[in-house]
Amino acid sequence: MERTLSIVKPDGVKKNIIGEVIRRFESAGLRIAALKMIRLSMDEAKRFYIVHKDKPFYGSLTEFMSSGPVVVMVIEGKDAISKVRELMGDTNPQNAAPGTIRADFASDVEHNIVHGSDSPESAGFEIPYFFSAVEIC
């Protein structure tokens, strides 16, 4: 059993596909263990994406992530981290496999609908960034 942190980004919320993203996770046998809608401040987005602080897209990425509400959730299941990454597809929707969330809905590499932790280490940072132990069911 493994847990990962996923986010429906502001573009996914605006496109009205929160339910579609959740449906794909649930259909793959994963379970929603925690979920809430929040609006990140610029500072909160910057701290969440601190690993990318030296990348050229850090400023626009964190501006985008704080531009509207997001849905953050803890996903639980066997191999949840890699399963969610597989359902998401490649970061750049042009390289994402057909049938993945990003191939189906993302408009470009920056506005790519969904986030998923990329390792147990990042899940270990990202889950408690948004949820306390009593909020995870």
- What is the layout of strands, in order, in the sheet containing 70-77? 31-38, 70-77, 2-8, 114-116
Whole-number minimum distance, CB 77 to ligand DAT, in Å? 19
Question: In the set 5, 7, 21, 61, which binds ligand DAT (CB under 6 A)?
Answer: 61
Is residue 129 within 8 A of residue 117, CB to CB? The reply is no
Per-residue x/- track, 115-134, ligand DAT (CB under 6 A): x--x----------------
Q: Which of 81, 82, 44 is nearest to 63 (CA)?
A: 44
Q: How many CB atoms lie within 10 A of CB 21?
A: 24
Does the annotation mark 115 as catalytic? yes
CA distance 82 to 99: 16
Residue 96 touching ligand DAT (CB under 6 A) = no
Out of 118, 126, 130, 137, which residue is the one contacting Mg ion (CB under 5 A)? 118
Question: 10 or 137, CB closer to ligand DAT?
Answer: 10
Q: Is 86 helix (H, G, I), strand (E, B) or coil?
A: helix
Restricted to residues 2-41, the positions that interact with Mg ion (CB under 5 A) are none
Single out the catalytic residue among 5, 105, 115, 131: 115
Residues near Mg ion, by CB under 5 A: 118
